[in-house]
């Protein structure tokens, strides 16, 4: 999934037009959605893109349920809610998605942001490690009826064991070998993420901010293909 972390719709759409080999799955996050709103989602879908709307919804159950219904009307394929909102909020989100029928987005619970580490959790007064919290919140999301979670590669294997096959794991903080981690604390290479059990990899600045995006994309695809071949030989 390509993270479209751009400040305006025109910049995102122009980048995609200049790089037609980019993934068909694209992530619209808080920055772009706040700047451009539903119109950018509609433009992306009109261009044949599968949209992952990453809003990390976190509010009282009724409000989150209403936001899920609104997102369903946009026909996005994936939508995030924050696992920290609690079981009642997660169940309300799942129920709202079910009401949408075939147009329902797949709900993904955000576990622990990849910018956080154990020290950051302690500062927030949250007990346990990032791995423990991600696993527990993933189990909460599964019990509430969500399709999967967003979690770093470092927690993906434990989540897979906890939640079983068929439960989606979307992994952000993916950095091809040699790419700087920027503001991410828990990063992984594509090979590491796939070995850990990730279903989708989210890659943004490693491609969109690259000096040669097409070359960076080709190298990323080759790295993924090699990792998949290695996995099939095991």
For residue 191, pLDDT over 80 is answered with yes
Cα–Cα dist 171/199, whole Å: 8
CA 166 to chain centroid, in Å, comes to 16
**Nearest to 183, CA basis, from 94, 106, 120:** 120
- Under 8 Å between Cβ of 6 and 27: no
pLDDT exceeds 80 at position 183:
no
- pLDDT category at 186 given cuts 50, 70, 90 is low
Residue percentage of the chain with pLDDT more than 90 = 74
pLDDT tier at 179, thresholds 50, 70, 90: low
Residue percentage of the chain with pLDDT more than 70: 92
pLDDT at 97 over 80: yes
Instruction: Say which residue, 96 or 186, is predicted with more confidence.
Output: 96
The yes-or-no verdict on residue 7 having pLDDT over 90 is yes
pLDDT band with cut points at 50, 70 and 90 for residue 232: low
Query: In this predicted model, what pLDDT tens digit does every residue of 61-81 receive, in sequence order?
Result: 999 999 999 999 999 999 999
Question: Taking 90 as the threshold, does the pLDDT of residue 225 lie above it?
Answer: no
- Residue 173 pLDDT greater than 80, yes or no: no
3-state secondary structure of 134: helix
- The overall average pLDDT reported for the chain is 91
pTM, full prediction: 0.90
Residues across the chain:
234
| 3-class SS letters over 46-67 | HCCCEEEEEEEECCCHHHHHHH
Q: What DSSP designation does 105 have?
A: P
- Token couple for 206: 């490693």
State mean pLDDT over 21-45: 97
Active site residues: 56
Question: Quick one: pLDDT band at residue 228, thresholds 50, 70, 90?
Answer: confident
Domains of the chain: 2-233 (3.20.20.70)
Residues 6+ apart with CB under 8 A from 192: 153
């Amino acid at each position: 999934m390509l993270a479209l972390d751009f400040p305006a719709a025109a910049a995102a759409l122009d980048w995609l037009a200049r790089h037609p080999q980019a993934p068909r799955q694209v992530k619209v996050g808080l920055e772009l959605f706040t700047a451009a709103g539903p119109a950018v989602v509609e433009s992306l879908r009109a261009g044949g893109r599968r949209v992952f709307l990453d809003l990390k919804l976190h509010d009282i159950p009724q409000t989150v349920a209403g936001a899920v219904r609104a997102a369903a009307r946009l026909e996005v394929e994936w939508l995030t809610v924050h696992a920290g909102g609690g079981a009642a909020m997660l169940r309300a989100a799942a129920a709202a998605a079910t009401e949408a029928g075939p147009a329902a987005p797949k709900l993904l619970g955000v576990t622990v942001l990849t910018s956080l580490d154990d020290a950051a959790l302690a500062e927030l007064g949250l007990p346990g490690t990032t791995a423990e919290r991600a696993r527990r919140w993933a189990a909460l999301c599964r019990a509430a009826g969500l399709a999967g979670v967003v979690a770093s590669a470092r927690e993906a294997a434990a989540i897979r064991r906890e939640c079983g096959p068929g439960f989606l794991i979307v992994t952000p903080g993916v950095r091809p070998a040699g790419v700087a981690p920027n503001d991410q604390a828990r990063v992984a290479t594509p090979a590491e993420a796939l070995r850990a059990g990730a279903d989708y990899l989210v890659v943004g600045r490693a491609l969109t901010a690259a000096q040669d995006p097409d070359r960076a994309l080709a190298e990323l695809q080759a790295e993924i293909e090699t990792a998949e071949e290695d996995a099939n030989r095991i």
